[in-house]
Every structure is written in structure tokens, then in C-alpha cells.
Chain A
Amino acid sequence: AQSVAQPEDQVNVAEGNPLTVKCTYSVSGNPYLFWYVQYPNRGLQFLLKYITGDNLVKGSYGFEAEFNKSQTSFHLKKPSALVSDSALYFCAVRVTLHAGNMLTFGGGTRLMVKP
């Protein structure tokens, strides 16, 4: 089955420190991978995507993600965390169904950045 997994329910990091939110995927063929962020009482906002090309993808708010084919991972990173980065983060992959393509999401990771 085509899917993504986020192994950590929560990640805690101190402000100013680097952060990593993990994501692994399982798809057939070349993966299209995405990261979204959700702030309280809001919908999901698109952060970045990997389609093809450079394995390091840069996105919104200083976030970046590294595509690693051998490890089937797409971890989200930021060199210096801000308290305002505290939110829910979702990894997603495009999957192909009989009627076309769609996104399937991981279970989400809550990021807590402490001052």
C-alpha cells in the first residue's frame, strides 16, 4: 500500500536549536512528497514539495526538507527553531488510484518549541 509514516507524535526543541520532523514513505515509482503545517483552529498550509531534481527542497518560513531515496525518507528541517513554529506538521505523498491521483497524509507530528 502507498503511504507515509510519521514516527513521532511530538517533537520538543528549544528556541534557536535546529529541528527535524521525520517522515518515511512507501510508494511504487517516483514519489511526490509534501509537507503541510496546521496552526490551531486553522486548515493545513502548504510548506514545500519534492517532485524531482535536488534532494534538498526549500520552502516557506525557512523550512527545508531532504529527500533520501535509499532511506525512503523526507524529513523536515529548520536550522533555528522559533516559538512561532509550534504547530502540527503533516507529511503527505501523492498516490495513484483508479480514478486519478490524490494525496494521502501521515498521522501528524506536534512540534513544540520552547523559549
Chain B
Amino acid sequence: EADIYQTPRYLVIGTGKKITLECSQTMGHDKMYWYQQDPGMELHLIHYSYGVNSTEKGDLSSESTVSRIRTEHFPLTLESARPSHTSQYLCASSGLTGTNTEAFFGQGTRLTVV
């Protein structure tokens, strides 16, 4: 099992609420990612980071924001949740240097906004 953790695993929340999805890894990886997964299963990259104080937007536009104040921590925040934000959110980290290129994933957070 990889040492990357997401909390909560499941969250049901009302429209307009502010939420933060937590992601932590203990592997010392510089690179971390957030993916949003459709009910139809396709993965979409929404945010990534190459190290502390580095954040970039991914391929899919998202109203969420991220921060990377510490290497091990990469939280994702929605200031005002809407039903369209209902999805599975997957966090990942990797070294992506040399041959140590695979990414390791957390268990995911399934978010439902009602």
C-alpha cells in the first residue's frame, strides 16, 4: 500500500458550504496531483504541484483551489460547493524522476453536494 492518505472518504454537504479535501503523503514526493473522476470513470487532472509553493491548473477547469505550504500536504478547497461539484476526487503523488516515474494514489474522496 502506498503512503498517501485522503480524508474524508465520503462527504455529503449542502450547497454553498465551504469544504476542504485533505491529502497527505509520507513518501517525500515533490509532485502531487488532484484528479476528478466522472461517474463514467474518466480521470481529469484539475490541479498539480511540483513542490512547495508551486501550484498549477490542470486540463479540466475547476472552481476549486489548492495550496502547497508543506511538501507532504496538498489540500483542495471549494469556497462554495454546488451540485455540479459532485464527483470522486483522487489525490496522487510521484517522484517522476529517472525511472521512479509511477504515481501513487490515495483512496479518493467521494463528494456529494445536495
* Chain A residues close to B by CB (< 8 Å): 32, 34, 36, 38, 41-46, 49, 51, 88, 90, 92, 94, 99-105, 107-108, 110
**B 66-106 binary contact with A (CB < 8 Å = 1; else 0):** 00000000000000000000000010101011010111111
SS class, residues of chain A in contact with chain B: strand
- Could you pull out 7 A-B pairs where Cβ atoms are within 8 angstroms? A34-B102, A43-B6, A43-B108, A49-B102, A100-B31, A102-B31, A110-B41
Q: How many A-B residue pairs have CB under 8 A?
A: 64
A103 CB contacts on chain B under 8 angstroms: 33, 94, 96, 101, 103
Q: Which of B35, B97, B102 has the most CB of A within 10 A?
A: B102
SS class, residues of chain B in contact with chain A: strand
* Chain B residues close to A by CB (< 8 Å): 6, 31, 33, 35, 41-43, 45, 48, 50, 54, 56, 59, 90, 92, 94, 96-97, 99, 101-108, 110
Q: Are B54 and A99 in contact (CB under 8 A)?
A: yes
Q: Are A51 and B99 in contact (CB under 8 A)?
A: yes
Q: Which of A43, A49, A88, A99 has the most CB of B within 10 A?
A: A43
| Residues A43 and B90 in contact in the complex (CB < 8 Å), given A94-B96, A99-B56 | yes
